Chains A and B, each alone.
Chain A
Amino acid sequence: MYPVVSDCSKFYLFLQEPMKQNETPLAELNFEGSKYKTLITKKFQSRKAYIPDDPNKINAQIPGTILKIMVKEGQQINPSKCLFILEAMKMKNRVFASISGTIKKIYITEGQIVTKNQLLLELGKPELKPIPEPDQTNQEATKERKTRRFGKRNRAKSDQ
């Protein structure tokens, strides 16, 4: 706003600042202790903060449909127990937990379509007494076979 004195009346002239090359104002980028004045790219602005993986939360690693749920809330499970079947890319994926524990909450129903990274199931703290496991070696073998056949296991995922 610039006051301008003309003949006998005083009026204000509104001058718009010339358009800058880019509308986003300069930001400061801290790089090893030095602060650089610069524009920030959209990609950098929209980057997501890193969240460490929580083995108690079972998220969908692939979008698809929940075909069948094999567990109930409050049920104790271990990594060899199939939790549910997630059909995706024409494949029925059996999903396992990576730890033992109790099913705290089930967020899904059979037939539901889920998106990638959606929270499907939550585990509580494992009880002190784990459910008796049948035969250790036998079970290991079954687990391996299952993994081989159905591939998908809810492992700690660093790629999300």
Chain B
Amino acid sequence: MSIKRKTRELMERREQILQGGGESAIKKQQEMGKMPARDRVISILDENSFQEYDLFAQHEGRDFDMDKKELPGDGVITGTGKIYGSPVCIFAQDFTVAGGSLGLMHARKITKIMDHALKLKVPLIGINDSGGARVQEGVNSLAGYGEIFYRNTQASGVIPQISVILGPCAGGAVYSPALTDFVFVVDKISKMFITGPEVIKTVLGEEISMEELGGAQVHSTITGNAHFYAASETECFEQIKNLISYIPWNNNLKPRKLRPRSPKNAYKIDTIVPVDPKQPYDVRNVIRAIADSSEFFEIQEQFAQNIVIGYGRMNGQTIGFVANQPMYMAGVLDVDSSDKAARFIRFCDAFNIPLITLVDLPGYLPGVDQEHAGVIRHGAKVLYAYSEATVPRITVILRKAYGGGYIAMNSRHLNADIVFAWPSAEIAVMGPEGAANIIFRKEITSAEDPEKMRKQKIKEYKDKFANPYVAAAKGYVDAVIEPENTRDYLLHALEVLETKDVPRPLRKHGCIPL
């Protein structure tokens, strides 16, 4: 047999496997608005950069007549490729092959590419589209899940891990995305839950649709499990590429630098923020007014909207922005927003991304529901995350910074590197109304006209303490700056902090309150 004939045989074998679960199965997927698995991989990656591994893998099922079945690639596609020139490892479950169910070989292909990613120190992208464990393979499929979870954890903080939910992801399978850094969902396609609607109906008698139980909307607004929401798969792939451009390949590197660009003129920083601390505005516009090209890549846009997190660039360098959002809930910290911010801060710290914090909040949200939901435990995460972060940490206090919220938002006291304040900043234990009511209680109650007295005392307090100078006098604020020059001050600060090097205590790991 000549090598040509052998090569032809290879081509034939390959051709057969590339068809996946066959035409009718692929058609069924397309009717649901889903791309075939291999097309997904190819559309995420740069042109002609995909190298597939383990194409000829065969499944391990021996019972229940499974040995007679052919499962091309055992329902998962794995390989390496590039995104904007950055190397990544990728796997994609193929729903057309046995419902993308996870058997031993399927899992082994995934763990192999995960080990590869960890060895090469490049980001890992996983596309989840699977009916769950392959029941015929019994405990072997459970073993497979466990081995994936273990690797997710080992890789955490070493390489960025991205999960893309493009189909069902149910039962134990959800925990792999849950362990990764970023979860992408697509409207009407993504479904994530531990127990599906059918089990819930038979066991509990509660009726609910898949979409309402664990659809893309639910996870991007209510649970916070998803970080990016897209209307279509193509939009989702653009988001993934965008994210990859902001983050480094691994924890030893810095994100790639782009050419510095100035913000757009449309965003005038001094007109965005009203002077009255009780008036709302969109803090994202402040970020756009200081970031390169006015580009801000927001994470978890719909979840806990009272805090804003995301990436922008300053002088071409990736920056993690954390900002209170006065437009929602006056920008308070609560259970969800604390979780959201803390996780983001820790990711930035793990991957050498400097943090800029914009502060404008009245404090932690009061209420029985908050207290009972554990706002103490959750709120502590923000303090912990900031305090342990060793990347450059810069704070700009825009307006109000009251009480525990002020401390938590990367204050000088948590060892922030540089704290700027605008002249409109009010740094105090609480707002003037609350403070006056406590300090001047006697004067107010004993006055002939208590309401008039209260107003007078509030004004007195405001004049004296509602400014950045009391804190600046103690060195808690490094510089009071004019708002229109904020970007210049930040650029200078980032340059100064380039050489920041903080020795860390020798320990296995801290014990963050979870």
The interface of chain A, by Cβ under 8 A from chain B, is 21, 26, 29, 31-44, 47-50, 63, 113, 115-116, 158-159
Main secondary structure of the interface of B (DSSP, over half): loop
Instruction: Indicate whether A38 sits within 8 Å of B326 (C-beta atoms), given known contacts A21-B282, A33-B437.
Output: yes
**CB nearest neighbor in A for B373:** A47
- Among B204, B304, B365, B437, the residue within 8 A (CB) of A63 is B204
**CB–CB A32/B336 < 8 A:** no
Q: What mask results when residues 213 to 242 of chain B are scored 1 for a CB within 8 Å of chain A, else 0? A: 000000001100000000000000000000
Which residues of the other chain, B, contact A158 by a CB distance below 8 angstroms?
A: 372
* Distance from A40 Cβ to chain B, minimum over Cβ atoms (Å): 7
Tell me the B271-289 residues at the A interface (CB within 8 Å): 277-280, 282
Contact of A31 among B203, B205, B363, B437 (CB under 8 A): B363
The reply to whether the CB of B506 lies closer than 8 angstroms to some CB of chain A is: no
| CB neighbors of A among B418-460 (8 A) | 430-434, 437
| Contacts known (A29-B329, A50-B368); A37 close to B278, Cβ less than 8 A | yes
Given the complex, which residues of B lie within 8 Å of A35, measured CB to CB?
A: 278
Q: Pick the residue among B326, B366, B368 that contacts A36 (CB under 8 A).
A: B326
Query: Is B367 in contact with chain A by the CB < 8 A criterion?
Result: yes
User: Which of A26, A33, A43 touches B280 (beta carbons < 8 Å)?
Assistant: A26
| CB-CB under 8 A for A115 and B205, given A41-B304, A50-B368 | yes
- Which residues of chain B are near A21, meaning CB under 8 Å? 282
Give 14 pairs: A residue, B residue, CB < 8 Å, sorted on A.
Answer: A21-B282, A32-B363, A32-B431, A34-B433, A35-B278, A38-B329, A39-B280, A41-B328, A47-B367, A48-B369, A50-B369, A63-B206, A115-B205, A115-B206
Kindly state the interface size class of chain B when it binds its partner: 35 or more
Prevailing SS type, chain A contact patch: loop
Q: In the complex, how many angstroms separate the beta carbon of A93 from the nearest chain B beta carbon?
A: 14
Known: A43-B222, A63-B204. A38 touches B330 (CB 8 A): yes
B192-220: CB near A (< 8 Å → 1, else 0) gives 00000000000111100000000000000
Q: Is there an interface contact between A42 and B221, defined as CB atoms closer than 8 Å?
A: yes
CB distance from B184 to the nearest CB of A (A): 22
Chain B nearest Cβ from A112, distance in angstroms = 10
B residues within 8 A CB of A37? 278-280
| Interface of B toward A, CB cutoff 8 Å | 203-206, 221-222, 277-280, 282, 304-306, 326-332, 336, 362-363, 365-369, 372, 430-434, 437
Name the 5 nearest CB pairs between A and B, nearest first.
A32-B434, A33-B433, A36-B330, A34-B431, A50-B368
A134 to chain B minimum Cβ distance, whole angstroms, is 38
Partner of A32, one of B327, B328, B433: B433
Given A33-B434, A35-B278: A43 and B336 interface contact (C-beta under 8 Å): yes
**Bound Cα distance A44, B365 (Å):** 10
Closest to A35 in B: B278
- CB proximity of A60 to chain B, nearest CB, Å: 11
Q: Is the CB of B329 within 8 A of A41?
A: yes
Task: Report B-chain residues with C-beta under 8 Å of the C-beta of A42.
Answer: 221
Task: Find the B residue at minimum CB distance from A29.
Answer: B330
In the complex, besides A36-B362, A158-B372, 11 extra interface pairs with C-beta distance below 8 angstroms are: A31-B330, A31-B363, A32-B431, A34-B278, A34-B362, A34-B434, A35-B278, A39-B280, A39-B305, A43-B304, A63-B203
Residues from chain A with Cβ under 8 Å of B203 in the complex: 63
Closest to B332 in A: A31
Q: A39–B431 contact, CB under 8 A?
A: no
B387 → chain A closest CB, angstroms: 25
Residue of A nearest to B370 (CB): A47
**CB of B428, distance to nearest CB on chain A (Å):** 11
CA A48 to CA B330, docked complex, whole Å = 20
Find chain A residues with CB under 8 A from B433 CB. Answer: 32-34
**Contact, CB under 8 Å: A36 / B280:** yes
Closest to A50 in B: B368
A34 to B454, CA, bound (A): 13
Q: How far is the CB of A154 from chain B (nearest CB, A)?
A: 19
CB of A90 to closest CB in B, whole Å: 10
Residues of A within 8 A of B362 (CB): 31-32, 34, 36
